[in-house]
Amino acid sequence: MDGIGLNPLNRYFPLNMKAAWVFLILAFFIVVAGCNTRQAVKPIVLSIPVTGNTEPSQLAIQPSLVNTPKNFSSQTVPPAPSKTPTLQIIEKGFSAWCFPKTIKPPQGPYTSAIPKGALNSTLEKDLTKILVPASLCAFSYRFNQPFPENMYVLVFGQGSPVPWLKGELIPASDDPKTGIVVFRHEQITNPNAWEVIYFFTLNTSLGKEISKNKVNVYKTHPVRCKNGLLPDPATLECLIEEIK
């Protein structure tokens, strides 16, 4: 028997080499198995209910594609202010009243109502009639809204393009929509005629005409003179020629 078979290292060496190879093979399969067990990442799914008979839909969360302006405001835009209506006289908004000569008129300002003791005007078609003689006559304008300052009234004789009288329109003390112009001129309160026709124009401060009204100033006819004629309209006396 030779010396190689008697050495203990030679007897166990083949067994140790086999064990090492087995260990290496097992380690390789463990590493490969670990790599294959990694799972893919799934997107987050959000369930959103849908009205009606349809089933809830599933939508994946996606980034928004809407660009919001920097100065965007969620506040509601207020509506544009309504346009102010045009200034005008309401229907049958022009009238007049006079204090008889026997009554001393009170001091103004006056209200929109006719003062006690005053005689109201009458209307015949487009003709406003006032009875004189009077101590004072006032002409009233009723508007659809409060009227601006510095409005005025011009008085024209029939057929004349030039006004002979001007008066300022003053607000009534109880109504900013009513304006009153007061005249004490004798050709209004006691003209030298039994009746006369005037035209009244209402104007803005810039001279724009708002309305035009026809006014008949008249007197009650007295007893006629002996010759059948009417007496003088101012003095109510018969002329000398008429008396003879």
- Reported as type and span, the H/E element at residue 6 is none
Output the pLDDT for position 13.
Answer: 47
SS3 content of the chain, % helix, strand, coil (to 5): 15, 35, 50
Give residue 235's pLDDT.
79
Q: Who contacts 118 (Cβ-Cβ below 8 Å, separation ≥6)?
A: 97, 98, 99, 103, 105, 138
- In the prediction, which pLDDT does 170 show? 97
* pLDDT per position as a tens digit, 100-142: 999 999 888 899 999 999 999 999 999 999 999 999 999 999 9
- The pLDDT confidence band at residue 94, using thresholds 50, 70 and 90, is very high
What is the CA 101 to chain-centroid distance, rounded?
Answer: 46
User: Tokens in use for 11?
Assistant: 């007897």
pLDDT at 4 over 60: no
Across the beta sheet with 119-120, the strand order is 119-120, 89-100, 134-143, 175-183, 170-172
Residue 26: pLDDT band by 50, 70, 90 thresholds? confident
Buried b (16+ CB within 10 A) or exposed e, 195-222: ebebbbebbbeeeeebeebebbbbbeee
Long-range contacts of 11-15 (CB under 8 A, 24+ apart): none
Query: How far from the centroid of its chain's Cα atoms is residue 28's Cα?
Result: 89
193: helix, coil or strand?
A: coil
Spatial separation of the C-alpha atoms in residues 34 and 39, rounded to whole Å? 11
User: Pairing relation of β-strands 209-219 and 127-132?
Assistant: parallel
